[in-house]
Amino acid sequence: MVTRWVFRLFDDRYAWLRMTLLGLSGIGYLLLRPYPDEPYAPVDWAFAAAALSLCPLGVRWPLASALGSALVFGLAGWFGEAAPTVPQVGATWGVLELTLRRPIRQVAVTAAAVLAACLVDSLDHLPATWPTWLYGVAVTVGVPVLIGLNIRASRQLARQAEQRVAIEAEAARASERAAIARELHDLVAHHVASMVLRVGVARHVLRDTDPRVTEVFDDLHDSGTNALADLRRLVAVLRDPATVGTGPGYVPIEPGALPEALATTVDRAVRTGLTVDASIDPAVATLDTVRGLTILRLTQEGLANVAKHAGPTARARVRVRVLDDAVHWELTDDGAASHRGARRSESGSGTAGSGHGLVGMRERVELLGGTFTAGPEGAGWRVRTVLPMAVSR
């Protein structure tokens, strides 16, 4: 507990507190000097005041403060009449503060300056007092440097430990998500396969039924078959340790096939009863795979939301443009006002009971550095995103 408190005191955020305590201790020493028979001369008071005035500078400019303290210490030792205790303590603390917060090169320069100041202070007594002088140098220069380096090393080890814990936690989350995704695949694939099989049987048995019903059966069978193929490819990615967590994600289409994939998505929405006015910029074929997949997923989810909230007979408009090094995607509908509340809950934080369509769309867009807006427009709803293009390297 005490060790934690001490290391917190030497945190960079509390530099102002340390320098304030240093200044107060210097003032206290001057007011309660233990040697009343050795009064300070005006020059000594001047150097002590100069040393104290440098304390606030150490909060923002530790190098300038430390070098200034070393200079004041050296001048006080040369021109002063009393022992330069306050300038010496200020120089010592300046070395410590610099060691805590600045590169080693600056520490070495400052330590050399303080060492020179120590030499100037004791020049009249050398070489007779070499042992005492070396001890003073060790206390004035060596101790603060060692303490500062030790605290810096402890900080670095603590940061590395935090990073290691964060990496391990992220790896554990990724592994858990992969396991859940595999289990979800097994569950969903089982039911989808059963549905596809039953639709196939219905197609075989009901050959002479209404052509419109046959068309629906064909569409259901094709959609289920494609969903199973996508699920199999996705689980293959998840079960490959070399690709899980290292790639940009599962990409079921090639970038150049994006216009065709968007057209297919719109066509499927039209088959459900929606009236869709689509305007797709051919330049979307040049998008990278991640942004291409994002645009496709936004369109799929957006049209599904229109059918869900505005009804299968609603009218929707899809606009995809590549303009000013960004992809502009927009989906509007003429929906029903009675469904706005449900959409608002869906666009929120995703709490229990609300939908997650817009939340997932927002997360996907913001992951790529884009902007996402959704809200009512007239009687309907509008969703708009702007995705920056990938930066070439």
Residue-wise pLDDT tens digits, 25-42: 888 877 777 666 667 788
Cα angle 362-353-332, degrees, rounded to a multiple of 5: 40
Q: Is 56 exposed, middle or buried (0-12, 13-18, 19+ CB in 10 A)?
A: middle
Residue 385 has pLDDT above 90, yes or no: yes
**Going by DSSP bridges, is the β-strand pair 326-333/275-280 parallel, antiparallel, or unpaired?**
unpaired
The CATH number assigned to the domain holding 262 equals: 3.30.565.10
Residue 56 lies in a domain: yes
Q: Tell me which of 230-244, 273-287, 299-313 is least confident.
A: 230-244
Burial of 176 (0-12, 13-18, 19+ CB in 10 A): exposed
What would the DSSP string read from start to end of 48-73?
HHHHHHTTTHHHH-HHHHHHHHHHHH
Structure tokens at 170: 């992220």
Specify the residue for token string 């858990």: 176
How many angstroms separate the CA atoms of 161 and 247, rounded? 26
pLDDT for the residue 329? 95
Give residue 55's domain range.
2-121
Does 268 fall in a domain?
A: yes
Condensed to tens digits (0 to 9), the pLDDT of residues 239-289 reads 554 544 444 444 456 657 888 889 988 988 888 888 999 999 998 888 887
Question: Which residue would you say has higher pLDDT here, 100 or 245?
Answer: 100
Residue 347, phi-psi category: left (phi > 0), alpha (psi -120 to 50), beta (remainder): alpha
User: What three-state secondary structure class fits 377?
Assistant: strand
Residue 309 lies in a domain: yes
Give a yes or no: residue 212 inside a domain. no
Total number of domains constituting the chain: 2
Q: Mark which of 101, 121, 141 sits at the end of a domain.
A: 121
Centroid of chain to Cα 185? 31
The answer to whether residue 338 scores a pLDDT higher than 50 is: no
Percent of the chain having pLDDT more than 90? Answer: 12
| Amino acid present at 319 | R
Read off the DSSP letter of residue 312.
T
The answer to the question of residue 209 being in a domain is no
> Peptide bond before 248: cis, by omega within 30 degrees of 0?
no
φ/ψ of 208, rounded to 5, equals: -95, 20
| Residues contacting 111, CB < 8 A, separation 6+ | 95, 141, 145
Among 105, 121, 137, identify where a domain stops: 121
Query: Is the pLDDT reported for residue 56 higher than 80?
Result: yes
Question: Which residues does residue 277 pair with via DSSP β-bridges, in sequence order?
Answer: 317
C-alpha of 329 from chain center: 26
How far is the C-alpha of 361 from the C-alpha of 312, rounded, in Å?
21
Q: Is 252 exposed, middle or buried (0-12, 13-18, 19+ CB in 10 A)?
A: middle
| CA gap 105, 76 in Å, rounded | 26
Contact 8, 14 (CB under 8 A): yes
Residue 216 lies in a domain: no
CA dihedral 117, 122, 127, 129 (to 10 degrees): -120
pLDDT at residue 390 above 80?
A: no
Q: Work out the angle at residue 66's Cα, subtended by the Cα atoms of residues 60 and 72, and round it to the nearest 5 degrees.
A: 125
Residue 182 domain-assigned (yes or no): no
d(CA 79, CA 47): 9
Q: Which neighbouring-strand residues pair with 330?
A: 319, 384
| pLDDT band at residue 340 using 50, 70 and 90 as cut-offs | very low
Which of these three, 121, 139, 160, is where a domain ends? 121
HSE, CB side, 13 Å, CA atoms: give it for residue 117. 30
Is 25 part of a structural domain of the chain?
Answer: yes
